[in-house]
Amino acid sequence: MHAEILVLHFGKDIVDQPIIYRLVKDFDLEFNLLKATIYPRQEGIIVLELRGHPKNFEAGVKYLKNAGVKVQRVASEVRRNDERCYQCGTCTAICPTGALHVKRPEMEIVFDVEKCSACELCCPVCPARAMEVSINRNAVA
Amino acid sequence: MAHYQVNKTYQEINAKIKKGQAVVVTAEEIIDIVRQKGEVEAARTVDVVTTGTFSPMCSSGALLNVGHSHPPIKMARAWLNNVPVYCGLAAVDIYLGATEPTSDDPLNKVYPGEFKYGGGHVIHDLVAGKTVHLLAEAYGTDCYPRKKWDRHLTMNELTDAILLNPRNAYQNYNCAVNRTKKIIYTYMGPLRPKMGNANYCTAGQLSPLLNDPYYLTIGIGTRIFLGGGVGYVTWPGTQHNPVAPRAANGLPLKPAGTLMVTGDLKQMHPRYLVGVSLLGYGCSLAVGLGIPIPLLNEEIAHFCGLSDADILMPVVDYGEDYPNATGRVLTHASYADLRSGVIEVEGQRVQTVPLSSLARSREIALTLKKWIQEGAFLLGEPVELLPSCPRGEYCPPRAGGVAEIS
C-alpha cells in the first residue's frame, strides 16, 4: 500500500472532466480530499491524499499526467526554516494533520513532512514566520 | 522573622563565583536536589539557581539615540523601516515600541491581519547588524534648522541603544480557550471554537518569578540575562500586582508580579530578541530573559524546589469573558497537565498549545549557569526588593523531614 499527498493543478480545459472518478474506478485508488478550489480564471487545484497498491498508484499518476493534470508531490511544499523557528508550538494549535506536533517530555516542536498536507495554515500562524512555502522543482512532474 | 539554618550573603556567593567555586544549577535541576536532600541541605550546597523564559513580551521597546545630523534636526515624526517611533523626547532620542506595526500595515482590515513587520522586527534587525532606514521630519527651529532626514544606519552608528521593557516576565498568566462557535485570533494565538485548544505561555518551573514568588531576591539592581546580553531589573514592571490571590504554596493563581528591565541593546543577540507577528492581533517581540536566584537560605530553596505540578494557571475564555472583562476564571490547570498535552475544562478534554519556547527557556537557564560558573557574571544585590505581600511564617522542615519530601 502506498499513500502520498498530491497537489493536482487542472487547466480550465479539463476542469470539468471526471478525472478523480476515473482514478477510483479504473485504478482502484482511495482518495482523501484535503482542499479543492477553482480560481477566477477557471483553473482548479485539488490537494488530496492518494492511497493504493504501488503499481496502481504509479499508473494513476501516469493517467493524471496524460490527462493534462500537473502533479506536484506535496511533502516538500511547506518547509520549516529551522533558523527562524524558536520552538514555541503555536503552529500545533492549527495543524490539521498532526505534521506539526509537540514531542514530549522534551517539548520540542517536530515537523513531520510526511504528514504535511501543505494546507499552509501554519504559515501565517507562526509568530516567527518560520513556515515557508517553497516550490520544489523536483517535485513538479 | 524566620530563623534560618542557612544564612548566605550576596558577597559570599559572589566571592565564590569569582573563585570559580560557586555551585550553580538550573531551576529544573534544583527540583530533584531539594527532593532528595531537603531544603536546608539544598540551600547549603547550591549557591545559585538559574531560570529562563522565552516568550512574546509585548511591553518591550528600545530607547535609541541616533546621533546628531549636520545641520542638526529636532525630530518631530520619525520612522525606522517604516515603523513609527515616538519622538516626544529630546532632538534625536526616540522610543521604538515592539508592537508598533509599519505605517502602511493593513492591520485587521483584511481579517485576520498578518502584521508582518513591526517594532519588534526592527529591534531584531538592529541586533542582527542589519541596515535600517531612518526617515525623520521636523518643523525646524533656530537651533535645529533641518526639516527632513533620510538615512540608513546600523546599530554601530547609533550613539545609544538601550532595551527598555516596561513589563516583562509576567509571573503566571492566563491559559486561553474559546467557548464561542467561531475561531478567534488573539495575543494568545489562534483559538479554535468550542474549546478546540487551550493556549498557555510560561516556562513553568523554569520561569523566573515562579521560582521566587515573593520576590525575596529580585529587585532593583538584580543583574539578569536579557536578550542574550546582560541587563538589569530596574523597577517593578507596569501592572506589578503582588497581592493577586495565591495558592497555599505561595504561587499566584492569577497574573501577578512583573519586571521592568533594561540593558545595553548593543551587546545583545538576535537569537534572544525575535520580532513576532501574531495573526489577527499585531506585532510583538519575543524576549529571552533569565534571572539568577541566590539560595541565601532554605526558604528560597523551598520555593525553587516547587515544580510544574505546583503551578496552577487560570483558564480563561477569550471568546466571551476576556473581551467583556468579566474576570471569570473557568478553572485552574496545573502546568504539569498543560505540558502533558491535554487538560480537562468543563468536562471536555482540550488540546494544550504552548506559546513559550521551553527549549529556548532551558537554553537561557543553561547559558546563565555557564556564565556564572565561568565567573563572567556576578550577582547584583538589589538596592530595593520588588513590592511583595505578607507570606505565611516559614516553618523549617523538622528533623528527619527530608523523608516526607519524597
Contact between B358 and A107 using a beta-carbon 8 Å cutoff:
yes
Which of B196, B277, B340 is the closest to A127 by Cβ?
B277
Q: Does residue A63 lie within any of the structural domains?
A: yes
Q: Does residue A16 lie within any of the structural domains?
A: yes
Contact between B199 and A124 using a beta-carbon 8 Å cutoff:
no
Query: Quick one: pLDDT band at residue B404, thresholds 50, 70, 90?
Result: very low
Residues A67 and A109 in one domain: no
Cβ contact B176:B318 at 8 Å: yes
CATH number of the domain bearing residue A112: 3.30.70.20
Least confident stretch, A111-115, B181-185, B339-343, B393-397: B393-397
C-alpha B377/C-alpha B393 separation (Å) is 33
* Mean pLDDT of the A1-15 span: 85
CATH number of the domain bearing residue A60: 3.30.70.260
The answer for residues whose C-beta is within 8 angstroms of residue B197's C-beta and 6 or more apart is A93, B177, B190, B191, B350, B351, B352, B353
Residues A50 and A96 in one domain: no
**Which triple of cell numbers denotes residue A21?**
472518478
Q: Is the pLDDT of residue B109 over 90?
A: yes
pTM: 0.87
Number of structural domains, chain B?
1
Centre a 10 Å sphere on the Cβ of residue B141 and count the other Cβ atoms it contains.
13
Q: What residue numbers bound the domain in which A46 lies?
A: 2-73
Residues of chain B in Cβ contact (below 8 Å) with chain A: 54-56, 112, 114, 116, 189-192, 196-197, 199, 274, 276-279, 284, 286, 339-341, 351, 353-360
Q: What is the CA radius of gyration of chain A?
A: 17
Cβ contact B159:B67 at 8 Å: yes
Q: Which residue has the cell 524558536?
A: A86
| Strand duo B189-191 + B342-345: pairing | unpaired
C-alpha B293/C-alpha A103 separation (Å) is 29
Contact between A104 and B340 using a beta-carbon 8 Å cutoff:
yes
pLDDT digit string (tens) for B127-178? 999 999 999 999 999 999 999 999 999 999 999 999 999 999 999 999 999 9
Q: Does residue B287 lie within any of the structural domains?
A: no
Which of A90, A104, A105 is the closest to B189 by Cβ?
A90
Query: Quick one: pLDDT band at residue A74, thresholds 50, 70, 90?
Result: low
Residues A128 and A106 in one domain: yes
Q: Does residue B120 lie within any of the structural domains?
A: yes
Per the model's pLDDT, the better-predicted residue between B380 and A78 turns out to be: B380
pLDDT digit string (tens) for A35-69? 888 887 788 889 888 889 999 999 999 999 999 99
Residues A51 and A14 in one domain: yes
In chain A, whose CA is at the least distance from the CA of B278?
A127
What rounded mean pLDDT belongs to chain B?
96
Contact between B286 and A128 using a beta-carbon 8 Å cutoff:
yes
Q: Which residues of B touch A129 (CB under 8 A)?
A: 116, 277
Determine the pLDDT at residue B405: 35
Q: Does residue B405 lie within any of the structural domains?
A: no
Closest of B290, B291, B289, B294 to residue B216, by C-alpha = B294
Residues A64 and A100 in one domain: no
Q: Which of these three, A58, A73, A88, is where a domain ends?
A: A73
Interface test with chain A among B276, B289, B307, B343, by most A beta carbons within 10 Å:
B276
Contact with chain B for residue A106, Cβ under 8 A: yes
Residues A42 and A103 in one domain: no
Determine the pLDDT at residue A75: 52
Number of structural domains, chain A?
2
Contact with chain B for residue A94, Cβ under 8 A: yes
Q: Does residue A9 lie within any of the structural domains?
A: yes
Q: Does residue B289 lie within any of the structural domains?
A: no
Contact between A86 and B286 using a beta-carbon 8 Å cutoff:
yes
Residues A104 and A130 in one domain: yes
In chain A, whose CA is at the least distance from the CA of B114?
A124
Distance of CA A8 to the CA centre of its chain: 9
Q: Does residue B372 lie within any of the structural domains?
A: no
Residues A28 and A13 in one domain: yes
Residues A66 and A92 in one domain: no
Query: Quick one: pLDDT band at residue A131, thresholds 50, 70, 90?
Result: very high
Contact between B358 and A104 using a beta-carbon 8 Å cutoff:
no
C-alpha B383/C-alpha B74 separation (Å) is 36
**Which triple of cell numbers denotes residue B323?**
473581551
Q: Which residues of A touch B56 (CB under 8 A)?
A: 127
Q: Which residue has the cell 470539468?
A: A16
Q: Is the pLDDT of residue B2 over 80?
A: no
Q: Does residue A57 lie within any of the structural domains?
A: yes
Residues A53 and A88 in one domain: no
Sign for the CA dihedral angle at B164, B170, B175, B179 comes to: negative
Q: Does residue B122 lie within any of the structural domains?
A: yes
Q: Is the pLDDT of residue B377 over 50?
A: yes
Q: Which helix (H) or strand (E) holds B54?
A: strand B53-56
Determine the pLDDT at residue A141: 41
pLDDT digit string (tens) for A84-104? 999 999 999 999 999 999 999
Least confident stretch, A24-33, A69-78, A117-126, B46-55: A69-78
Q: Is the pLDDT of residue B406 over 50?
A: no
Q: Which of these three, A21, A56, A73, is where a domain ends?
A: A73
Q: Does residue A140 lie within any of the structural domains?
A: no
pLDDT digit string (tens) for B41-94? 999 999 999 999 999 999 999 999 999 999 999 999 999 999 999 999 999 999
Question: What's the 3-state SS for A87-133?
Answer: CCCHHHHCCCCCCEEEECCCCEEEECHHHCCCCCCHHHHCCCCCEEE
Q: Which of residues 10-69 of A touch B (CB under 8 A)?
A: none
Contact between B277 and A89 using a beta-carbon 8 Å cutoff:
no
Centre a 10 Å sphere on the Cβ of residue A108 and count the other Cβ atoms it contains.
14
Which of A89, A124, A129 is the closest to B354 by Cβ?
A89
Query: Quick one: pLDDT band at residue B199, thresholds 50, 70, 90?
Result: very high
Nearest CA distance, A96 vs chain B (angstrom): 12
Q: Does residue A125 lie within any of the structural domains?
A: yes
Sign for the CA dihedral angle at B197, B201, B206, B212 comes to: negative
Contact between B341 and A102 using a beta-carbon 8 Å cutoff:
yes
Contact with chain B for residue A83, Cβ under 8 A: no
Determine the pLDDT at residue A14: 87
Q: Does residue A29 lie within any of the structural domains?
A: yes
Closest of B327, B309, B302, B308 to residue B317, by C-alpha = B327
Interface test with chain B among A81, A85, A86, by most B beta carbons within 10 Å:
A86
Determine the pLDDT at residue A82: 95
Query: Quick one: pLDDT band at residue A17, thresholds 50, 70, 90?
Result: confident
Query: Quick one: pLDDT band at residue B238, thresholds 50, 70, 90?
Result: very high
Q: Does residue B360 lie within any of the structural domains?
A: no
Q: Which residue has the cell 509537540?
A: A102
Q: Which position among B58, B87, B143, B395 bears the catalytic label?
A: B143
Q: Is the pLDDT of residue B233 over 90?
A: yes
* Mean pLDDT of the B346-362 span: 97
The CA angle A47-A52-A55, to the nearest 5 degrees, is 110
Q: Does residue B385 lie within any of the structural domains?
A: no
Q: What percent of chain B has pLDDT over 70?
A: 97
pLDDT digit string (tens) for B113-131? 999 999 999 999 999 999 9
B175 has catalytic annotation: no
pLDDT digit string (tens) for B269-306? 999 999 999 999 999 999 999 999 999 999 999 999 99
Which of A87, A107, A129 is the closest to B277 by Cβ?
A129
Determine the pLDDT at residue A34: 82
Tell me the count of A-B CB pairs closer than 8 A: 71
Interface test with chain A among B355, B358, B362, by most A beta carbons within 10 Å:
B358
Cβ contact B122:B163 at 8 Å: no
Q: What residue numbers bound the domain in which B77 lies?
A: 61-163
* Mean pLDDT of the A123-138 span: 83
Question: What's the 3-state SS for B180-245?
Answer: CCCCEEECCEEECCCCCEEEECCCHHHCHHHHCCCCCCCEECCEEEECCEEEEEEEECCCCCCCCC
* Mean pLDDT of the B191-208 span: 97
Closest of A49, A47, A45 to residue A10, by C-alpha = A45
Burial of B358 per CB tally in 10 Å (0-12, 13-18, 19+): buried
Q: Is the pLDDT of residue A114 over 90?
A: no
Q: Does residue A36 lie within any of the structural domains?
A: yes
Cβ contact B52:B225 at 8 Å: yes
Q: Which of these three, A40, A55, A73, is where a domain ends?
A: A73
A33-42 residues labelled b (16+ CB within 10 A) or e (exposed) = ebeeeeeeee
Residues A64 and A84 in one domain: no
